[in-house]
Amino acid sequence: DVKVTQSSRYLVKRTGEKVFLECVQDMDHENMFWYRQDPGLGLRLIYFSYDVKMKEKGDIPEGYSVSREKKERFSLILESASTNQTSMYLCASSGRGVADTQYFGPGTRLTVL
């Protein structure tokens, strides 16, 4: 079974803090993704990566950066957290094919005070 794990289920941070959200997958997938989910807006793509050290902006990259130093790990970084980044963050991974199923982690609910 594919397993995608995220470092925390719940996280509370203060405005201005630097926040790291970690995602690890165990299926040797090339592609990894970060989404956020907000009520009434659905899942929106923040960043994705199709290889180590490669990254591409998604639909809403502002205020975020990412890091992929190892194939199995994809980190989402909030350089200076703001209250409008309070959200549910989901990581996903997939094989190289464009139509490959994406497998999701359990999500991290981040609250920025």
Partner 1 sequence: ILNVEQSPQSLHVQEGDSTNFTCSFPSSNFYALHWYRWETAKSPEALFVMTLNGDEKKKGRISATLNTKEGYSYLYIKGSQPEDSATYLCAFTSGGGADGLTFGKGTHLIIQP
Residues 6+ apart with CB under 8 A from 98: none
Find out whether 79 and 61 touch, Cβ atoms under 8 Å.
no
Find out whether 28 and 17 touch, Cβ atoms under 8 Å.
no
Considering only the stretches 17-25, 69-77, 79-87, 96-104, report the one whose residues sit in contact with partner 1 under the rule CB under 8 A. 96-104
Question: Cβ atoms within 10 A of the Cβ of 30, count?
Answer: 16
Cβ-based nearer residue to partner 1, 12 or 41: 41
Q: Which residues from 14-73 bind partner 1, rule CB under 8 A?
A: 30-31, 33, 35, 40-45, 48, 50, 56, 58-59
Least distance between partner 1 and beta carbon 58 (Å): 5
Backbone dihedral angles phi then psi of residue 84, each to the nearest 5 degrees: -75, 0
Which residues sit at the interface with partner 1, rule CB under 8 A?
Answer: 4, 30-31, 33, 35, 40-45, 48, 50, 56, 58-59, 90, 96, 98-107
